[in-house]
Amino acid sequence: MCGIVGFHGPERVVGDMIIGLTALQHRGQDAAGIATFDGDAFHLHKGQGLVNDVFKPKHTKKLTGNTGIGHVRYTTQGANDSDLAQPFTTSYPFGLAMVHNGNVINFRDVAKLLHDKYHVLPKTTNDLELIMYTFASELRVKDLDRISVVDIFDAVETTQELVKGAYATVTIIAGHGLLAFTDPLGIRPLVMGRRDTPEGPVYAFASESTCFDYLDFEFVENVGPGQAIFIDNNFQVHYKNQNTVPKAFCVFEQIYFAREDSTIHGRLVARERVRLGKIIARKVVDAGLKPDMVIDVPSSGYFSASGLAEAIGVPYRRAMVKNNHMGRSFIVPTQAGREDVVKKKLNPIRAFVEGKKVAVVDDSIVRGTTSRRIVRLLREAGASEVYFISSAPPIVSPCIYGIDMAMSTELIAANYTEEEICQFIEADKVIYQDLSDLQDLFAEERGHGGSCFACFTGKYPTGDVTRYLRHIQEERQSHRIVDKVPSVSAKAPLPTEH
Ligand SMILES: O=P(O)(O)OC[C@H]1O[C@H](OP(=O)(O)OP(=O)(O)O)[C@H](O)[C@@H]1O
Ligand SMILES: NC(=O)CC[C@H](N)C(=O)O
Ligand SMILES: [Mg+2]
């Protein structure tokens, strides 16, 4: 799940872009990049690592111009190499620079179409090139001397028909303006904001609204399913499709991915997480559990933990301390790397947990890397019983829309029963959110549009995805280590006495 931004205004944009991208760092830690346009030429800088590592003053000095796009990458297609970092640019027509968040699922079909129909050979295996060259090829057949907004939206529409999957994109069209568009279901988030300056308005697009809080931008609207918004060089805003309500928005954004202080489709993420914690309280009580305290797994477990504690009337403590210099573990591309981050990241406060029955809340259990480590740490710190509470239901199916859990072999709940998972992570009890409770919370009738629950149900909103699942498996085998959950026989015996 990458983070993207795009700015277009009457003043230099790179300063705002660095702040905006830093606010989105939680969405991608592999690489960062910025492309600006100064009226004559693009300026591009990108590389592996965090925003702070990639952009030093000597780089930002060269990123001149009043229009810019930026990206933080969490790799889901192709290798985690600097060659595949975004943005990508192409010089014809006009000069285009593009970033995207998401994942194209008909990769081979689009690659074939580009080759057979448009005579284009993408340079890399990053799916962004498929979107960019399809759009560029559709645009170049227009009358380029008299290109109009209708022509641009027409090229977007054909791109949306041909390219399947999840994508939120922002594109600089050199000399013309800034364009944002999404896939027809609106699976990934994208918001538009505006700040007024004495020289005129600055418009911005960003994956999450938290960017605008830092930059003093006013939130304007969500970019909805299949929508396109074009800001021309006179700062006029043009719309293709006014519908801003998503048809299949990724519910895992609300559970884990997005920042708590972002509002997505009218829902404050932190509030939804508190609700998830309150809802699961019923299952904790029904299971007869009487914890002495509720604790969270930092960072993403906090709001659900506070909701659960409030609902069952048990004190909440931050009894696991997070090393703030460690990033997210789940989005690290290899299992060895994820284990290393989890190991260095969390440390329990013995004085709080010693002799206590502890309910520890996390947003999700995906591969079991974090939960297994946490339970062990809490036991070593003297907890008498450890109940592991997941505010998400079991994740049983791969995500093919931009979250790197692409194969069922790596998903613990796709391979083991709840009892086996409990045994594997060495907890006294594991409680998952009920799928029906999650679906009720994000029900369409609550007015926020449709959600994608595919990782919990195996039902994919883009239709039959069997071919893509095979493609991603082959792609993973050629580029990366294929992760598997440990075998049952590798499990440590369940502790018998407490
Ligand atoms: O079962 P697993 O495979 O370990 O995956 C789930 C864990 O990964 C995420 O944490 P992460 O460290 O990525 O981010 P956070 O700091 O936002 O919680 C998530 O919040 C869970 O803690
Ligand atoms: N997580 C994402 O949005 C990834 C975007 C793109 N598929 C890449 O790998 O660069
Ligand atoms: Mg976590």
Rounded to whole angstroms, how far apart are CA atoms 125 and 315? 50
- Its CATH architecture, for the domain 266-482, is 3-Layer(aba) Sandwich (3.40)
CATH superfamily, domain 3-247, is Aminohydrolase, N-terminal nucleophile (Ntn) domain (3.60.20.10)
Is the ipTM above a cut-off of 0.95? yes
Q: Establish whether residue 404 lines the binding site of ligand 1, counting it when its CB lies within 6 angstroms of any ligand atom.
A: no
The verdict on whether residue 455 carries a ligand-binding annotation is yes
Instruction: Report pLDDT for 483.
Output: 56
Q: Establish whether residue 296 lines the binding site of ligand 1, counting it when its CB lies within 6 angstroms of any ligand atom.
A: no
Q: Is 422 known to be catalytic?
A: no
Average pLDDT value for residue range 194-208:
97
Query: Are the C-beta atoms of residues 256 and 74 closer than 8 Å to each other?
Result: no
Any idea what DSSP says for residue 204? E
Q: Establish whether residue 274 lines the binding site of ligand 1, counting it when its CB lies within 6 angstroms of any ligand atom.
A: no
The DSSP line for 396-457 is -S---SSSS---GGG-HHHHS-HHHHHHHTT-SEEEE--HHHHHHHT-GGGTT--EE-HHHH
The verdict on whether residue 300 carries a ligand-binding annotation is yes
The candidate with the shortest Cα–Cα distance to 298, out of 277, 278, 319, 284, is: 319
Q: Establish whether residue 129 lines the binding site of ligand 1, counting it when its CB lies within 6 angstroms of any ligand atom.
A: no
The verdict on whether residue 250 carries a ligand-binding annotation is yes
The candidate with the shortest Cα–Cα distance to 74, out of 368, 363, 395, 332, is: 332
Which atom in ligand 1 lies closest to the alpha carbon of residue 297? Answer: 22
Contacts of 215 (CB under 8 A, 6+ apart): 16, 19, 20, 193, 195, 204
Domain ranges of the chain: 3-247, 266-482
Q: Establish whether residue 390 lines the binding site of ligand 1, counting it when its CB lies within 6 angstroms of any ligand atom.
A: no
Q: Establish whether residue 370 lines the binding site of ligand 1, counting it when its CB lies within 6 angstroms of any ligand atom.
A: yes
Q: Find the Cα–Cα–Cα–Cα dihedral 433, 436, 437, 443, rounded to 10°.
A: 130
Rounded to whole angstroms, how far apart are CA atoms 225 and 239? 12
Q: Establish whether residue 263 lines the binding site of ligand 1, counting it when its CB lies within 6 angstroms of any ligand atom.
A: no
The radius of gyration of the chain's CA atoms, rounded to the nearest angstrom, is: 23
The verdict on whether residue 211 carries a ligand-binding annotation is no
- Give residue-wise pLDDT tens across range 114-163: 999 999 999 999 999 999 999 999 999 999 999 999 999 999 999 999 99
Pocket-forming residues, ligand 2, beta carbon under 6 Å: 1-2, 73-78, 86, 100-103, 126-128, 402
Q: What is the sign, positive or negative, of the torsion defined by CA atoms of 324, 328, 334, 338? A: positive
- Give residue-wise pLDDT tens across range 452-477: 999 999 999 999 898 888 887 787 77
**pLDDT of 491 over the 60 cut:** no
Which residues on adjacent β-strands are paired with residue 177? Answer: 173, 232
Rounded to whole angstroms, how far apart are CA atoms 381 and 352? 9
Cα(55) to ligand 3 centroid in Å equals 27
Given ligand 1 and candidates 254, 370, 403, 412, which is best to mutate, with the most ligand atoms within 8 Å of its CB? Answer: 370
Rounded to whole angstroms, how far apart are CA atoms 98 and 128? 8
- Give residue-wise pLDDT tens across range 332-343: 888 889 989 988
Given ligand 2 and candidates 46, 126, 182, 188, which is best to mutate, with the most ligand atoms within 8 Å of its CB? Answer: 126
Which residues on adjacent β-strands are paired with residue 249? Answer: 451
Task: Count the Cβ atoms, other than its own, within 10 Å of residue 161.
Answer: 12
Task: Count the Cβ atoms, other than its own, within 10 Å of residue 327.
Answer: 15
The verdict on whether residue 478 carries a ligand-binding annotation is no
Q: Establish whether residue 299 lines the binding site of ligand 1, counting it when its CB lies within 6 angstroms of any ligand atom.
A: yes
Q: What is the pTM of this model?
A: 0.94
Cα 168 off chain centre by: 11
Q: What percent of the chain has pLDDT over 70?
A: 96
Query: Are the C-beta atoms of residues 457 and 392 closer than 8 Å to each other?
Result: no
Cα(392) to ligand 3 centroid in Å equals 12
Cα 309 off chain centre by: 28
Cα(252) to ligand 2 centroid in Å equals 16
The DSSP line for 33-81 is EEEEE-SS-EEEEEEES-HHHH--HHHHTT--SSEEEEEEE---SS-S-
Which residues on adjacent β-strands are paired with residue 348? Answer: 320
Which atom in ligand 1 lies closest to the alpha carbon of residue 368? Answer: 1
Cα(49) to ligand 2 centroid in Å equals 15
Cα(329) to ligand 1 centroid in Å equals 6
The verdict on whether residue 452 carries a ligand-binding annotation is yes
**pLDDT of 497 over the 50 cut:** no
Average pLDDT value for residue range 21-49:
97
The candidate with the shortest Cα–Cα distance to 99, out of 139, 135, 71, is: 71
Instruction: Report pLDDT for 201.
Output: 97
